Amino acid sequence: MARRPVQIERKWLPDPVYNSIAVTRFINNLMKDGKKTKAQKIFYSAMDYIKEKTGQDPFKMFQQALKNVAPLLEVWPRRIAGATYLVPRVVRAERRFSKAVKWIIEAARNKKGKPMYIKLAEEIIAAANNEGEAVRKKNEMHKLAEINRAFAHFAWWGRKKKK
């Protein structure tokens, strides 16, 4: 019997303003306590702020920010012969997107003293310029994977063979 239930692929509807599934998923991650309208208001206000501040297309900046923050490698702990090794792995596309979104939101929430839409807008602008807390977190993860490159041969360890 399988340990995990089979995951059903989710279907998201694109948001009404930018007609993008990525924006819908970002808003869903931004939402707290089921308050989706508030999350939408924060996101769209942040996009307006980006447009006002930079004069560029905010949706393009948003996409660039996601692209810059998405990690290519990550490390997974593997327990082998009593020792735990951090084994570097390539990140799946779905997980790359999820990590990027969560890191941008977390970085914005950790800032103090400003309204959320301004903190979010500033983090998106910074990430689009390859700066900011979320990009720093991605670079840390890549450095950790690079340091543990010697353990990459353990990536296969403990996996079942597919028939």
Q: What single-letter amino acid sits at 39?
A: A
Kindly list the domain boundaries of the chain, sorted by start residue: 21-154
Spatial CA neighbour of 21 closest among 78, 89, 94, 87? 94
Where is 76: in which H helix or E strand?
Answer: strand 73-80
Q: What distances in angstroms separate CA 23 from CA 71, 81, 116, 130, 144, one per listed residue?
A: 19, 44, 17, 20, 30
| CATH code at 21-154 | 1.10.455.10
Question: What are 139-158's pLDDT values in tens digits?
Answer: 999 998 888 877 777 766 55
Q: What is the reported pLDDT for 75?
A: 87
| Predicted local distance difference test score (pLDDT) of residue 127 | 95
pLDDT tens-digit profile, the chain (163 residues): 567 888 888 899 999 999 999 999 999 999 999 999 999 999 999 999 999 999 999 999 999 999 999 999 988 888 888 888 888 888 899 999 999 999 999 999 999 999 999 999 999 999 999 999 999 999 999 998 888 877 777 766 555 555 5
| pLDDT for position 1 | 58
The pTM assigned to this predicted structure is 0.86
Contact 152, 87 (CB under 8 A): yes
| HEC profile of 99-135 | HHHHHHHHHHHHCCCCCHHHHHHHHHHHHHCCCHHHH
